[in-house]
Amino acid sequence: MKRLRLLPIALVPAVVLGLAACSGSGSSDSSATPSASSSATAAAITSCPDPGKASKAITVTGSFGGTTAPTVKFDKGLDAAKPQASTVVQGKGKALKDGDYAQVSYSVYQASDAKKLGTVGFDQGNPQVLSVGGTGFGALLACANVGDRIAAIGQSSALGFNTGGEIVVVADVVAQTPTKSNGAAQQQDPKLPTVKHKADGEPEITIPKGVAAPTKTTPEVIKQGTGAAIADGDTALVQYKGVVYSTGKEFDSSWSKGAPTTFTISEGSLIKGFVTGLVGQKVGSQVLIVVTPEDGYGANPTEGSGIPKNATLVFVVDILAKG
């Protein structure tokens, strides 16, 4: 029986190779993985890097957020004593702040020889959803607006990567990712659990009294989004809450943890009922899923999970972004 497994969101970019392996949305050269001798470390930045001579020497051409990666040029051996960042294109969107999430496309280069180490987004899948604030690349994003194109240079560890050595990163801040569903409210079936919302968007789930649970896994769209549809095998950034049908008791929730999380939508990672409920649904939607014991944890729930044996479960899932 498959267990519901949570995959943590990448709070800052890791080595580009690692991101590609996790999200299926990037490419990289094997040289992006550092050897022990090349993995120089520097304290991760915690505030906005100033522009400087080195970051201003990076030229970038090409459409913002396009399907073709921009052309990036700089002299081999470009160097900065401490991280620098210049805004190549000034965005007109919302200023990002700590705690936000942003969709970012970026390319990474080794500063010493101008070799491209990899790309996420652009012509290599979808932008990466990253957390804004904290240290490393997240700290840099906290200085940006939606629509900005940024050119940065510094030690990889200071910028939040683990490629080793000094790197150049060119990033397009494509969009801000919401922390709750922004879809249009739909009429709810009174024979299924109903959903109301707190001010921050957290769902409150009410189990109908005297109504037997469905005998097959049943999804219902509570809010209809208009984004891309989720396919089997996609990664998705979500908010979710799970309760036991018979008692209404919560057993798991990203809302309780204080942040969205990333799932791989496949039966290799999730219980069958969760996958059944989300495949085909659109980004921006909120989906209620009543999961039968056969499509959930059956007689073998995880010890300490708070899930009874052979329990019907109810999930409410906000689909925030597709990775």
Q: Spell out the domains of the chain, with CATH numbers in brackets.
A: 16-177 (3.10.50.40), 184-322 (3.10.50.40)
- Give the per-residue pLDDT at 3: 38
- Give the per-residue pLDDT at 41: 59
Query: Which pTM value belongs to this model?
Result: 0.76
At 279, list the tokens: 């495949």
Model pLDDT for residues 234-262, shown as the tens digit of each residue: 988 899 999 999 999 999 999 999 888 88
34 neighbors 162 (Cβ within 8 angstroms): yes
- Give the per-residue pLDDT at 197: 96
74 neighbors 58 (Cβ within 8 angstroms): yes
Residues in the chain with pLDDT values less than 70: 1-41
254 neighbors 238 (Cβ within 8 angstroms): yes
Chain centre distance of CA 191:
33
Sign of the C-alpha dihedral computed for residues 235, 241, 245 and 246 taken in this order: positive
d(CA 198, CA 249): 17
- Give the per-residue pLDDT at 80: 95
d(CA 22, CA 28): 13
- Give the per-residue pLDDT at 269: 87
